[in-house]
Amino acid sequence: MLICKVVKPLVSTNRIPDFEHKHLQVVLDGSTQKVAVDAVGCIPGDWVICVGSSAAREAAGSKSYPSDLTIVGIIDHWDPDAGKAPSADAISSSGAPISGGAS
């Protein structure tokens, strides 16, 4: 599974019949934009859970579905920066720069 951010809808008027009326969304996976079938009704700005490969086809509604990425859930609360270690240029709580070594 992947955590992605929905960027915008993708409109495709010429599609194969198996796509029925499923919506497509452009999602951001890190710095890469991908197209995902929207099985849950998300909107731009939502953080979503996506599945790929055969799980994507099944989640979209059928194993014969031509999907390689399907949105299966909308994340209620997500801070993408939580849990990251502070950088070397971090500032201490007193406002003084944190030095990297002894002087």
Domain assignment present for residue 65? The answer is: yes
Domain assignment present for residue 46? The answer is: yes
Total domain count, the chain: 1
Element (H, E) at 54: helix 53-60
Domain assignment present for residue 88? The answer is: no
Domain assignment present for residue 87? The answer is: no
CATH number of the domain where residue 69 is located = 2.40.50.220
pTM for this model (two decimals)? 0.73
Closest to 47 in 3D by CA, of 75, 23, 79: 75
Residue range(s) defining the domain that contains residue 31: 2-12+21-74
Closest to 65 in 3D by CA, of 53, 77, 76: 53
Question: Could you read off the pLDDT tens digit of each residue along the chain, which spans 103 residues?
Answer: 999 999 999 998 877 776 677 889 999 998 999 999 998 999 999 999 999 887 887 787 766 677 889 999 999 998 888 877 766 555 555 555 555 555 4
Q: Residue for token digits 């790929």? A: 52
Domain assignment present for residue 25? The answer is: yes
